[in-house]
Amino acid sequence: MEKKVFVAPVGDNMDALFVGLREFPTERVILISPEGKLDDANKAKKDLDKFKIPAQIVEIKGNIWESMFQKIAEIKALEKDKDIIVNTATGDRMTTCAATSAAFVNGLKAMSVEGDMAMMLPVLKFSYYNMLTDKKMDILKLLSKPGCCASLEELSKKTKMSLPLISYHINGNLKSEGLKDMGLVETTESKGRIAVQLSTLGRLLLKGYVSS
């Protein structure tokens, strides 16, 4: 069996790391450590040394979601010939969610832990880029600019698309998902007007942190 490269966020449940390692032959471990968790990361690295498992610590700073997506996308690119598993159970609430989402949108294997049992999560193999038409991508790029857009009407004018067409791209229909259903934009209603803005996932996609 091919040895795995484990990726694990450093958080509140580092014992879950070793539950996963018991189930799979492991080549090495990449520990993703948020600010303030370096002591925990170094302790985990020393524990792994006892089992002769090489470990690398990668520190992330700033926004957890953006940093986690960026690092996991980079790891996937660097380790493209390796069998990667993201252990989502080791982090705290925020890093676990971010690592799980980053694994899914990059098509990587992910696992969790329940008690002493390791559980593989389903791999969602899809590409946002294949689902996005040129017009949908144009809308996302426009929404990334500061101050856009206070309403669907404003978005319609800036894209030079009709209001029904903008509504279709944002909300979709029975046959086609819109940007909102894809989780790439968020809408808010105020005084009868609907404002549209990029979601966190939408921003990450435009920055290239979501796999194509």
Task: Report the CATH number at residue 171.
Answer: 1.10.10.10
Q: Is residue 212 part of a domain?
A: no
pTM, entire model: 0.75
Residues 133 and 115 in one domain: no
Tell me the CATH number at 91. Answer: 3.40.50.10770
Domain boundary, last residue among 86, 104, 121: 121
| 173-202 pLDDT, tens digit each | 888 889 998 888 998 887 788 889 998 888
Tokens describing residue 83? 């069998």
> Which of the residue ranges 73-87, 112-126, 144-158 has the most confident prediction, judged by mean pLDDT?
73-87
Residues 9 and 108 in one domain: yes
| 59-75 pLDDT, tens digit each | 999 999 999 999 999 99
Per-residue CA distances from 185 to 11, 49, 168, 169, 190 (Å): 29, 44, 13, 11, 17
Q: Is residue 162 part of a domain?
A: yes
From 17, 35, 15, select the one nearest 7 (Cα to Cα): 17
Domain boundary, last residue among 121, 148, 179: 121
Count of the separate structural domains present in the chain = 2
| Structural domain that includes position 151 | 128-207
